[in-house]
């Protein structure tokens, strides 16, 4: 089983960016944590981050027939990108939306998610552990729906 983990803008700044919201762990720490869980679960993961919407769309499209599932933290594009929604719908790969912070407890504009309509689950407000929950859920979901 192969899972693509996509991270949107500014997530490369974890550990620096608003530590009171996102914590002190770095993006490198996040990638290592996901990789460790994938090994334990016997799942292949590819982790990708971009600050550019088109790059994320291209990566979703490249997952077609190459990945069994997608975990996506679109970051700020959550609230603005119909292009990411359309890409997820186009490839038809089960996806889980993840947010490190509790987006529903923050500014009003963060409560709107365009990508959610193409996802089988959303995990929000659980920090880095949200990615682990998403990975565990997605591997089980894919296994049950093959």
Q: Note the pTM of the prediction, 2 decimals.
A: 0.93
Higher pLDDT, 33 or 109: 33
At 54 the pLDDT is 98
Calculate helix-pair angle for 82-91, 53-62, nearest 10 degrees: 10
Mind listing the pLDDT tens digit for each residue in 23-62?
Answer: 789 999 999 999 999 999 999 999 999 999 999 999 999 9
Q: Which residues are catalytic?
A: 22, 99
CATH of the domain at 98: 3.40.50.9100
- Residue 122 C-alpha from the chain's centroid: 9
Q: Containing domain of residue 82, as a range?
A: 2-144
Calculate helix-pair angle for 129-144, 27-41, nearest 10 degrees: 30
At 111 the pLDDT is 78
- For the chain, how far is it from start to end, CA to CA, in angstroms? 11
At 105 the pLDDT is 72
Q: 121: exposed, middle or buried (C-beta count within 10 Å: 0-12, 13-18, 19+)?
A: middle
* Number of domains comprising the chain: 1
Share of the chain above pLDDT 70, in %: 99
């Amino acid at each position: 089983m192969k899972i693509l983990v996509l991270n949107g803008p500014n997530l490369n700044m974890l550990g620096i960016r608003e530590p009171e919201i996102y914590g002190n762990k770095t993006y490198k720490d996040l990638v290592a944590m996901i990789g460790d869980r994938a090994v334990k679960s016997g799942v292949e993961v590819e982790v990708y981050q971009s600050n550019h919407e088109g790059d994320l769309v291209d990566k979703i499209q490249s997952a077609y027939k190459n990945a069994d599932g997608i975990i996506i933290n679109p970051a700020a594009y959550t609230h603005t990108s119909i292009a990411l929604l359309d890409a997820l719908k186009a490839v038809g790969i089960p996806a889980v939306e993840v947010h490190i912070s509790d987006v529903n407890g923050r500014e009003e504009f963060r409560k709107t998610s365009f990508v959610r309509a193409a996802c089988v689950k959303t995990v929000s407000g659980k920090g880095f552990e949200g990615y682990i929950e998403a990975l565990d859920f997605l591997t089980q979901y894919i296994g049950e729906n093959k």
